[in-house]
Structure 1
Amino acid sequence: MSRVGKYPVPVPAGVTVAIANRVLTAKGKLGELKLPLHDEVEASVENNAVVVKPRTESKRARAMWGTTRSLVAGMVKGVSAGYAKALEINGTGFRAAVQGKDLVLNLGFSHEVRYSVPPGIKITCEKPTSIRIEGIDKRLVGQVAAEIRALRPPEPYKGKGIKYEDETILRKEGKKK
């Protein structure tokens, strides 16, 4: 039995959830998200909450039960409050700026790196060394943050590179004479 799936997902005020043709749609003040339901689960809206149940007792159905419930909870939170990730840039001369629909990064290479921002994502740079990624889709926000971090991951000797704001870098000791 799923420990996650058995709890209903509460729907906050200002968010509407509808199910039509095996597609769950969540609308809120920030936008709209859709989730095609898996064949092994069924969902219903009861008492201002979304209830997810498995159709059969197979192992696959029980696995998809918890997964679907988690995805629905992420959608409801995304359309009501949204998601954000913050990145920090460490290194001499390393900086970031938003130009139009591109994020322009100077990361110590011989050229500047341009990252085109996907639709549904908002990127801001309050300081040249900080990047804030916001959006309503949890998966997309995390994916964009991971792609930007992968352009210059932090190295363990000086800590130079792009890291998450709450990430700690395990530092190594340098060469000894």
Structure 2
Amino acid sequence: MAKKIAYIIIFLISTLSFSQKSIAEILKKYNTESIPYITVNDASKQLNAVILDAREFSEYKTSRLKNAIYVGYNDFNLKKTIKKLNNKQQPVIVYCSIGVRSEDIAEKLKKAGYTSIYNLYGGIFEWKNNNLPVYNSEEKETDSIHTFNKEWSKWLKKGIKIYD
């Protein structure tokens, strides 16, 4: 009986220590905050900003912010991305699912001399959770959101969860 209780306690402790309770906790854990966050509300008003999607291509094909430029994460190419940007002072908003991968990509742009780089806080999930429009590969509004995987899908509260 004591052994069974010990296993239960170990299970509960491991579950509590590995599960994140909010997007804020995940961002605190994985990000350095070297790139300033921009809220989805503020980002939705940035009409002159370039929007970069730092997710994988399968995610981008399923769902994206309007006029977002795919730059990827695993296959990110700084030289190709720079060719898509007008100047180093223009506002650039980088997003991914919740804001972890986008910080990595934004840091690379910052090191390349870009001065107005922002990381979308909560990424496309927070965007959709705030009822802002998301588009598919045909530029039509969609409720289907690629959530990267089943684990990350718990942070999407609105829309249809799609993952490979």
Higher relative contact order (CA 8 A, sep 6+): 2
TM-score, normalising length from structure 2? 0.26
The structure with the largest helix share of the pair is: 2
Which structure: larger Rg?
Answer: 1
